[in-house]
Amino acid sequence: MQIQKSYLLLAILLFSIVGCNPKTKQAEQNPSLKKIFKDDFKVGAAINSQQLYGNEPEAVKLIKEQFNAISPENVLKWEPVNPRPDSFDFESSDRYVAFGKANKMFILGHNLIWHKQIPSWVFHNNDGSLADAKQLKQRMRNHIFKVAGRYQGRIDAWDVVNEAVNADGSLRQTNWLKIMGKEYLPLAFQYADSAAPDAELYYNDFDLYKPAKRQGVVRLIKNLQDQGVRVDGIGMQGHWGLNVPDLQQVQKSIDAFSDLGVKIMISELDITVLPRTKDMNAANLATGYSMVHGLDPYKNGLPDSIQTRLANRYAAIFKLFHKNRDKISRVTFWGVNNKDSWLNNWPKSGRTDYPLLFDRNNQPKAAFDSVVKVVE
């Protein structure tokens, strides 16, 4: 009798943990992207401060369940880490690295040298004039050694230089280039190599499917390689849309970069369903629906037809990645769920976009199912 009672209590307990809690059940039933693609490439997500500080437990649960690589959405950029000369704040980035370590994830450092999200003191003197090459070189060196050096042996790879090339393939006229000349590029990689010899070193940029930009990046990396500079990989960001890019162009870039002997990552994947502001005139809006409903057409929900287009687009994109699994080492989404995506606020703030695989309640979308099916 006593034994039967214990069994009954145990059964009730188990049922209350597993059976009655729909969220637990849901989470347990999700297939896991990192498991599905485990023989192909790592699958990652960019994580934000809210998640790092435990304010979004459902999203954090998803990160642990789905991904084996993380990127810091913002916490390792120059501005938060080194806001004033000789003033470093590593609280959030330490938390980021500890999270990755605790969950045995591939930890990306993003990024060391970029022209955005960088404080003005880096490029300017107190009187507002531009710093000179010697000063800027010293600031670059100091930043890279402090930041990459701090995480040597813990951060697995760095986006050393972000977005240095224009659409036409020429070098972008950033303050780095204006002040230091093109020597800033090999120097950044050399400093990173010395500060973090165990980390992989990457070049990262957007629109790398475009032929002229592809050629510009090939020239850049070849040039660095010719100088004996270590570059281990190229990150193709992947802020894409329902129709753009043409996946044949993506394939051409994968081939061209892989011919350089470097790894390829899809480093910041998301697929916007919204019209872009530069296409504001109605004739150019992305879909018939948005022509009628304007620039924020889906604020009350995504029509099934667009949900299906997004799912099909994700399927086609992942088919391409899977086909190139010998060349692609990681595919990272720029965010976890639709709610937190930067695309809700760019290029126009306050819109409602649906670019990721999980919805605003962290539930898998049709696009998630279609990605899962790619390998089945």
**Closest listed residue to residue 108, CA positions, set 252, 268, 259, 225:** 268
> Which residue number, 131 or 357, has a Cβ lying nearer to ligand GLA?
357
**Closest listed residue to residue 122, CA positions, set 140, 134, 97:** 140
Q: Are 212 and 254 in contact (CB under 8 A)?
A: no
Shortest Å, Cβ 132 to ligand GLA: 28
From residue 159 to residue 178, the character string flagging contacts with ligand GLA as x (rule: CB under 6 A) and all else as - is ---x----------------
Q: Are 268 and 205 in contact (CB under 8 A)?
A: no
Shortest Å, Cβ 10 to ligand GLA: 49
From residue 121 to residue 140, the character string flagging contacts with ligand GLA as x (rule: CB under 6 A) and all else as - is --------------------
> Which residue number, 40 or 200, has a Cβ lying nearer to ligand GLA?
200
Distance CA 111, CA 205 (A): 11
Total number of residues that touch ligand GLA (CB under 6 A): 6
> Which residue number, 190 or 332, has a Cβ lying nearer to ligand GLA?
332
Distance CA 281, CA 126 (A): 43
Backbone phi and psi for residue 136, each to the nearest 5 degrees, phi listed first: -65, -40
Q: Is 290 in the site for ligand GLA (CB under 6 A)?
A: no
Q: Are 66 and 331 in contact (CB under 8 A)?
A: no
Residues recognised as catalytic: 163, 268
> Which residue number, 92 or 237, has a Cβ lying nearer to ligand GLA?
237
Shortest Å, Cβ 206 to ligand GLA: 6
- Tell me which residue has its CB nearest to ligand GLA: 342
Q: Is 232 in the site for ligand GLA (CB under 6 A)?
A: no
Token code pair at residue 333: 């989404």
Distance CA 296, CA 350 (A): 9
Q: Is 342 in the site for ligand GLA (CB under 6 A)?
A: yes
Q: What is the DSSP letter of 169?
A: S
Footprint of ligand GLA on 43-102 (CB under 6 A): none
Shortest Å, Cβ 108 to ligand GLA: 11
Backbone phi and psi for residue 335, each to the nearest 5 degrees, phi listed first: 125, 175
Shortest Å, Cβ 111 to ligand GLA: 6
From residue 181 to residue 220, the character string flagging contacts with ligand GLA as x (rule: CB under 6 A) and all else as - is -------------------------x--------------
> Which residue number, 161 or 187, has a Cβ lying nearer to ligand GLA?
161
> Which residue number, 56 or 270, has a Cβ lying nearer to ligand GLA?
270
Q: Are 264 and 233 in contact (CB under 8 A)?
A: yes
Q: Is 145 in the site for ligand GLA (CB under 6 A)?
A: no
Alpha-carbon separation of residue 356 from 82, 339, 376 (angstroms): 31, 9, 21
Q: Which of 156, 268, 340, 353 binds ligand GLA (CB under 6 A)?
A: 268
> Which residue number, 236 or 315, has a Cβ lying nearer to ligand GLA?
236
Question: In degrees, to the nearest 5, what angle opens at C-alpha 329 toward C-alphas 272 and 52?
Answer: 60
Q: Is 237 in the site for ligand GLA (CB under 6 A)?
A: yes
Shortest Å, Cβ 364 to ligand GLA: 23
**3 state DSSP class of 82:** coil
Shortest Å, Cβ 303 to ligand GLA: 26
**Closest listed residue to residue 265, CA positions, set 288, 238, 226:** 238
Distance CA 206, CA 334 (A): 13
Distance CA 369, CA 200 (A): 32
Other Cβ atoms closer than 10 A to 312: 14
Residue ranges binding ligand GLA (CB under 6 A): 110, 162, 206, 237, 268, 342
